[in-house]
Structure 1
Amino acid sequence: MTFNAKTFVFATTVAISGLGSMAQAEEVVLRAVSAFQLGTVFYDPFESFVERVNENGKGIVQIDVIGGPEAMPPFEVGNALRGGIIDLANTTAVYHANLVPEGMAMTLTNMSMDELRENGGYDLLDQLHREKAKIHWLGRLTQNIQYYIYLSELPDGVDFDALKVRSAPVYQSFFSALGITPVQTAPGEVFTALERGTIDGYAWPSLGVFDLGWQEKTAARIEPGFNQVETGVYFSDASWNELSQEQQDFLTEQMIAFEGEADRYNALADAEFAHQAEYGITTIQLEGEQLDTFVKMSNEEGWKPVMAASPDAGGRLRDLLVK
């Protein structure tokens, strides 16, 4: 389905035009989109959050999810939030890094959201989003989910220099430093690229391989993982400011409660890895100097694009986001 901004704006006019009276309304219905396909592993946390809000927020606030990528392309979501076309979204800062490049730092933290809310890391990232994109970061939906390199064939030792791997901008510098040839491939084209040998593998989180059918072309997963997947709830700042204090406090409380249950992702990753092993996907553990280099580069190279885009804020974020 082709995204038509005019059609989308018209379809949301009624909801947006009613935001001016939010503070007086007993119950507000907020319209949301997801950058992730409904029914997939990265939509599920948002679905759970919405169910929690709608159950606990009767008479206060409700969330109406109007669609996923078929309603709005993922890389359009940041601009839609900035323009007040939608009220909130299930997305990732990686998708609006053109607006807030510092948001990529969220994939590099090794600290919990509890720690970041206490030490000022959350406040700084939210401030940057508000100042640069008129977006309010409500909080994080996924924690403790790392990225991994998956290979289509079982190698006799790992030679990164010989690999062509589907990459993404947020870790492209890391791959290049390892010697990997990073290849930009849309998720919908990965299966075919693996089948044709255009790529030797792909980088993907611990979860979601089976959602996409990629297990059929996957022979191995390299350990350890690197970085952290970040998905969250982001508000149009205009929509957020139209809410009453009670409504804002309620949504913040629901988000913090959800973040406090982050251990659920450890269990999900364990179950996913067991499923991969049952399917025949072999685990390859890096060792010795190769392991040390991998871990060091994942940290050092990951921060380079953040520091290049925003040296001052990047330095402050690194101090707050890394133990």
Structure 2
Amino acid sequence: MVHKTTRVVAAALLAMGMAGAQAAEVTLKAVSVFTMDTFFTKRFKQFVEKVNTEGKGLVQINVIGGPEAIPPFEVGNALRSGVIDFANTTAVFHANLVPEALALTLTEKPMSELRQNGGYELMDKIHREKANITWLARTTDGLQYHIYTNKPVTSADLSGFKLRGVPVYLSFFREIGATPLQIPPGEVYTALERGVVDGYGWPSVGVMEMGWHEKTKYRVEPGFYNVEVGFFMNQKSWEKLDEEQKAFMRKQIEWMESQNVTEHQMAIDEKAATEQAGVQALVLEPDVARALRTKAYESGWAGIDKSSPKYAAQLRELFGGYQP
């Protein structure tokens, strides 16, 4: 009878333990600022699938949608307030909250170096202080931006050009005389079609899938900056994870960042495809190219110097390194 009672109690405790383990599973509500069938959401979808497959009982990610769920420039506030837990986004879209985050695009140092030299810790600290957001991962590394235009470019003076831009290169576009306009990616095709803009800034990948090549004549070479897309979480949502869950997420993040090495070939392939589709590579003369890139980086860092006197020197030390 005693043995039977012991077995019953043990079974009950085991059941309670199992129930407790199941109850500990955390589901993170997530969005992507990019539509779900584009290049900059591809890695995110792979990450979510891997987490949901390997993280049963620990962590699951529920993707509620792309920009149709929350407009890109509102995702930062949604993260800060806890409306969502997790976002596949770029810090460019929440630079109004964390202007220092633009250093992520200005840097030419790989993520592996930033994790070693203290750059990652500093940027994560700033995000936590200013926006209740924690920076988890970088999912693009080594891709450049380009100016795409329907008007020829022969100098570093683009006076009279109307270019679609985002915060990270608004100062640069103004520095070269262009008029920058902030337009969500989903509205760029129509803006080109109607002549609202003469061109746009965009990475060396993704033009074809957006369909913008149909309304674009030139891609200016060389490119500039280091395209930044990554994973960000609400700070409180991250802190609610227990140590096992955090360790699991860090392991998945390490895997995700290890995939960045394939991007250079993707850029080469897409450039070839866009050229075949009619987008001409407009290669600037060396002096003009040097002047354009110098203005890009000098104006970018000047913006950080102005908006963040507290952290600008540290950011330049850890994230800088551009040579004209």
Alpha-carbon separation, structure 1, partners of 2:142 and 2:289 = 20
Matches within 5 A, 1:67-78: 67-78=65-76
Q: Please state how far the C-alpha of 1:24 moved relative to its aligned partner.
A: 8.3
SS in 1 for 2:311: helix
Task: Report the identity percentage.
Answer: 50
- Tell me what 1:250 maps to: 248
- Tell me what 2:87 maps to: 89
Pair 1:62 & 2:60 matched? yes
Aligned partner of 2:44: which letter? F
Q: In the comparison of the two structures, how many residue pairs are matched? A: 302
- Tell me what 2:295 maps to: 297
Pair 1:260 & 2:258 matched? yes
Q: Please state how far the C-alpha of 1:259 moved relative to its aligned partner.
A: 0.9
Q: Please state how far the C-alpha of 1:174 moved relative to its aligned partner.
A: 1.0
Pair 1:321 & 2:298 matched? no
Q: Please state how far the C-alpha of 1:237 moved relative to its aligned partner.
A: 1.0
Alpha-carbon separation, structure 2, partners of 1:137 and 1:22 = 29
Question: After the TM superposition, which of the residue ranges 74-83 and 267-276 deviates more from structure 2?
Answer: 74-83
- Tell me what 2:168 maps to: 170
- Tell me what 2:224 maps to: 226
- Tell me what 1:204 maps to: 202
Larger-Rg structure: 2
Alpha-carbon separation, structure 2, partners of 1:282 and 1:304 = 32
- Tell me what 2:238 maps to: 240
Structure 2 regions of 5+ residues with no counterpart?
A: 1-18
Aligned partner of 1:106: which letter? L
Cα 1:245–1:311, aligned 2, differ >3 Å: closer, same or farther? Answer: same
Q: Deviations 1:227-264 (Å, cap 9, x if unpaired)? A: 12211111111111111101111111211221122112
Alpha-carbon separation, structure 2, partners of 1:22 and 1:294 = 59
Structure 1 regions of 5+ residues with no counterpart?
A: 1-20
Q: Please state how far the C-alpha of 1:26 moved relative to its aligned partner.
A: 4.5
Q: Please state how far the C-alpha of 1:200 moved relative to its aligned partner.
A: 2.0
- Tell me what 1:7 maps to: none
Q: Please state how far the C-alpha of 1:199 moved relative to its aligned partner.
A: 2.5
Aligned partner of 1:198: which letter? V
Matches within 5 A, 1:265-284: 265-284=263-282
- Contact 2:222–2:283 (Cα < 8 Å) also in 1: yes
Of the three residues 174, 182, 185, the one matched with 1:184 is: 182
TM-score of the two chains, using structure 1 as the length reference: 0.87
Question: After the TM superposition, which of the residue ranges 311-320 and 155-164 deviates more from structure 2?
Answer: 155-164
- Tell me what 1:14 maps to: none
- Tell me what 1:10 maps to: none
Aligned partner of 2:63: which letter? V
SS in 2 for 1:161: coil
- Contact 2:21–2:57 (Cα < 8 Å) also in 1: no
Aligned alpha-carbon RMSD (Å): 2.1
Alpha-carbon separation, structure 1, partners of 2:284 and 2:88 = 34
- Tell me what 2:110 maps to: 112
Alpha-carbon separation, structure 2, partners of 1:197 and 1:36 = 24
Aligned partner of 2:237: which letter? S
Pair 1:28 & 2:50 matched? no
- Contact 2:89–2:230 (Cα < 8 Å) also in 1: yes
Q: Deviations 1:10-66 (Å, cap 9, x if unpaired)? A: xxxxxxxxxxx9998453222211121111121111111112222332332121111
Q: Please state how far the C-alpha of 1:156 moved relative to its aligned partner.
A: 7.4
Of the three residues 81, 96, 99, the one matched with 1:98 is: 96
